[in-house]
Amino acid sequence: MINTYNFSQSDILIEGKSLTCHRSARLVFAGLDFTMKSGMAMMVQGANGAGKTTLLRVIAGLLPLSGGSLKRPETASLYHYLGHQNALKKQKTVKENLSFWAEFHGNGASRISTTDILQAAGIGGLADMKTAALSSGQQRRLALTRLMVAPRPIWLLDEPLTGLDDNGKDWLTDMARAHLEQKGLIIAASHEQLAFTTHDLKIGGSKR
Amino acid sequence: MNSFIALIRQDIALAWRQNSAGLSISFFMIAVALIPFGLGPDLKLLRDIAPGLVWVALLLAVLLSLESIFQADLEDGSFDQYLLSDTPLEILMLAKGLAHWVGVVLPLVLTAPLAGLLLNIDTPSLLPVCLILLAGSPAMSFLGMMGSALAAGVSRSGLLAALMVMPLYVPVLIFGSSALSQILKGAATGDWINAVFLLLSIGGAALFFGPLVAAAGLRAFLK
């Protein structure tokens, strides 16, 4: 359903060795090790403030590291980052938001029409609604459709389940499994168990 | 290239939908319309101070719109997406500057000469006045975006941006209003056309440096 791209031509490796990160003089995490290859999905677990979001942003290249070594593909357009914020313009309609990201990220190269994508996301009937009128779960679904309009091998998902109902979680799981089958790579931070992850990474075992 | 065009189109559409230009135009018109009430019915005085007045009101109206350039993108997470694009951030900032110019400043500048009528500027001068304002308009957007980017992320960033940008607007104000007074005095085209080129070259320099400064400022803010 998602697309027919296959990422296996170039195997992707993300390897962190004793990663350490400070944010405004506070130590967020230290000594993180992990190795991720194409086809793997890792779930990052940890208490509030343990640094899950920071780790994802570091991997995306949005934040600098203060120690350790991180091997990652440098090309920014290999990464999809789904943050806490949905990167949606409330004044625009659902369809306009999706088309914008399709053009911005995907160069309009998506082989699936926006209508079909919205249909798959379960918000097909809302295409012409103002995004502000959507519930938070529906907005989350719309943000997740960004993963479909531009095929990129590395998905970094920060609390992807926020606001999603069971139906939405199933949709995301199917989408993620299809992505892994195509040799994609997923790193997700979540408090809830994710059905598609194969590896776990715990940050911040002790309280600080 | 697609990202560049998509971003320009989105920002112009948003400016239109939020009526940013409309707000700035209304502010400008009201500011200009209030002056005669304060000064009393002295037509000559109005005409004498019109050049400086028009420019100051215009720059203030542009300052009002500066906060909107980056604030929403930073708050709703769009900015992270800009960083994960093949298109360099500097080019995307150029897109945002151009969109601000087309979506907000250009409509403002094109309606501004109407206010000239309130200030007793005669109709034949309106076209040259429009030309001068137009020549100064790119500088308004691209100098403005520097301040807007440097102030981004601070609460009430609009005020801080205004404080930083105002000194940068001084050369525009000086050359712009001296050219306007020349026109209103009925000077020949040759006497004020140099100011047009000067304003355009300030705009050109701002067009080059604005996106660089904005990208550097926003990167520093995100780290």
Of all residues in chain A, the one with the smallest CA distance to B19 is: A91
Spell out which residues of chain A touch residue B78, defining contact as CB-CB under 8 Å: 87, 89
What's the average model confidence in pLDDT over B167-180? 93
Taking contacts as CB-CB distances below 8 angstroms, the residues of chain B near A76 are 83-86
Is pLDDT of A55 > 90? yes
Chain A positions in Cβ-Cβ contact with residue B5 (cut-off 8 Å):
103
| Structure-block tokens of residue A59 | 């991997």
> Is residue A2 situated within a structural domain?
no
Query: Exposed (0-12), middle (13-18) or buried (19+): which is B123, by Cβ within 10 Å?
Result: exposed
Q: How confident is the model at residue A9 (pLDDT cuts 50, 70, 90)?
A: low
| A-proximal residues of B, 86-105, CB under 8 Å | 86
CA distance linking residue B13 with residue B162, whole number of Å: 24
Across the interface, whether the CB atoms of B86 and A91 are under 8 A apart is answered: no
What's the residue count for chain A?
208
- C-alpha B113/C-alpha A33 separation (Å) is 65
Nearest CA in chain A to B16: A91
pLDDT reading at A104 higher than 60 = yes
Question: What are the structure tokens assigned to B167, written together?
Answer: 């000194």
Residue A206 in this model has a pLDDT that exceeds 60 = no
Task: Determine phi and psi for A162, rounding to 5 degrees.
Answer: -50, 120
Give the residue-averaged pLDDT of B157-182.
90
pLDDT above 90: residue B92? yes
Token representation of residue A183: 């040799």
- What is the C-alpha separation between B47 and B36, in angstroms, rounded? 11
Across B98-111, average pLDDT = 94
Compute how many other C-beta atoms are within 10 angstroms of the C-beta atom of residue B70: 26
The encoded tokens of residue B23 equal 């707000």
Q: Is residue A8 assigned to a domain?
A: no
Q: How far apart are CA B170 and CA B176, in angstroms?
A: 10
Q: Is residue A185 part of a domain?
A: yes
CB contact under 8 A, A89 and B14: yes
**pLDDT of B222 over the 80 cut:** yes
Burial (0-12, 13-18, 19+ Cβ within 10 Å), A205: exposed
Amino acid identity of B183? I
pTM for this model (two decimals): 0.90
Q: Is A158 within the bounds of a domain? A: yes
Q: What percent of chain A has pLDDT over 90?
A: 61
Q: Is residue A208, in this structure, part of any structural domain at all? A: no
Chain A residues with CB-CB distance to B18 below 8 A: 91
Provide the pLDDT for residue A205: 57
Q: Sheet containing A67-71: which strands, arranged edge to edge?
A: A26-37, A13-23, A67-71
Question: How many structural domains comprise chain A?
Answer: 1
Residue B37, pLDDT score = 87
State the CATH number of the domain containing residue A32: 3.40.50.300
pLDDT at residue A97 is higher than 90: yes
Least confident of A18-22, B156-160, B196-200: B156-160
State chain B's mean pLDDT as an integer: 90
With helix as H, strand as E and coil as C, how does chain A read? CCCCCCCCCCCCEEEEEEEEEEECCEEEEEEEEEEEECCCEEEEECCCCCCHHHHHHHHHCCCCCCEEEEECCCCHHHEEEECCCCCCCCCCEHHHHHHHHHHHHHCCCCCCCHHHHHHHCCCHHHCCCEHHHCCHHHHHHHHHCHHHHCCCCEEEEECCCCCCCHHHHHHHHHHHHHHHHCCCEEEEECCCCCCCCCEEEECCCCCC
- Using a pLDDT cut of 70, give the percent of chain A over it: 91
Confidence of residue A2 (pLDDT cuts 50, 70, 90): very low
Gap between the Cα atoms of A55 and A67, Å rounded:
12
Using a CB–CB cutoff of 8 Å, tell me whether A18 touches chain B: no
What's the DSSP call for residue B33? Answer: H
- Residue A18 domain boundaries: 13-202
Question: Which of B81, B86, B90, B221 has the most A C-beta neighbours within 10 Å, making it the best mutation to test the interface with A?
Answer: B81
CA distance A84 to chain B (A): 8
Any residues with CB less than 8 A from the CB of B196 and at least 6 apart, and which? B131, B132, B135, B179
A100 in B contact zone (CB under 8 Å): yes
State chain A's mean pLDDT as an integer.
Answer: 88
Interface predicted TM-score (ipTM): 0.90
Is A54 contained in some domain? yes
A34 in any annotated domain: yes
Whether A132 has its CB under 8 Å from any CB of chain B: the answer is: no
Residue A1 pLDDT > 80, yes or no? no
pLDDT for position B125: 85
Least confident range from A148-152, B75-79, B154-158: namely: B154-158
The yes-or-no verdict on residue A110 having pLDDT over 70 is no
